[in-house]
Structure 1
């Protein structure tokens, strides 16, 4: 019988009030035989490497095998969608975790990039019926990014990895 999920009301908190590395680990599926693609943007690499390291560590901590986690790099966050699609096309890949960081600048480029990436990754997930996780930081400043890449607010990479694990339960 399929597992039932309940929709319980939860208190919504901004990441400024929540540690991204603290999450529920109830009812996690066995992912020892699952393969994960970690797609990482090189732009803002101090941040994205820290996020990727957090995601990798969390996957291993919750049962993924080292040889089942592959990393591919792309130039920037905009390119995450194409790489996610290429990974999703591979039958052996069970979930894709996309890691990026688009910092607000003097122009509105971040709005266009963030929107395109979010919509693109959603489209890839639905098209290939696989979890494609949005692990992209969208901070106003570099300090906010660092705070969410292993700093005072934890690591968004941890959260992205546990999201991938949980989504494999569906």
Structure 2
């Protein structure tokens, strides 16, 4: 059997965007730091890393669509934090952000990773933004780098 998979290493010339929501910025700032750390650790050139900020997770798909339509990025890492509250707002925002990112990803031939936290509490979000459960921003960038390399093998 021939196995085709990507590696977690950049060539140094890849142009990547991080699109992150500012809402719950105490969490998303840590996710951004983790994603940037992964990018730099894997041979990324900081001059080729763009950070696009949107108000909240609901706006991520729109910014992703615009960024991918430009055709200047080898990949995009989406980051956000949606924390359950006392109303159904969490369910609507998380569902629409997830569907919007998925649909937009399928529309273009550019790798996209999903680093949007959907947690029941602020404590769970903190755990996933760099404490007990690692940093999901770092993991999302690792995923993107692997996808970029896999995509090169599938064209």
Question: What's the TM-score, normalizing by structure 1?
Answer: 0.83
Which residue does the alignment assign to 1:36? Answer: 16
* Runs (5+) with no aligned partner, structure 2: none
Using the TM superposition, name which of 159-168 and 106-115 deviates more: 106-115
1:110-166: CA deviations, max 9, x gaps?
Answer: 111111111111111111111121110001000110111011111000110000001
* Runs (5+) with no aligned partner, structure 1: 7-25
CA distance in 2, matches of 1:129, 1:165: 15
How many residues end up aligned between the 2 structures?
Answer: 149
CA distance in 2, matches of 1:150, 1:43: 18
Structure having the higher helix fraction is 2
1:33-87: CA deviations, max 9, x gaps?
Answer: 1111111101000000000010011011011110110001100000001011111
Question: What's the TM-score, normalizing by structure 2?
Answer: 0.90
Which residue, 83, 108, 128 being the options, matches 2:88?
A: 108
Structure having the higher strand fraction is 2
Which residue, 124, 146, 150 being the options, matches 1:166?
A: 146
**Runs of 4+ off more than 2 Å:** 3-6, 26-31
Which residue, 43, 56, 65 being the options, matches 1:76?
A: 56
Give the conservation status (yes or no) of the 8 Å contact 1:41–1:48.
yes
| Partner SS state of residue 102, structure 1 | strand
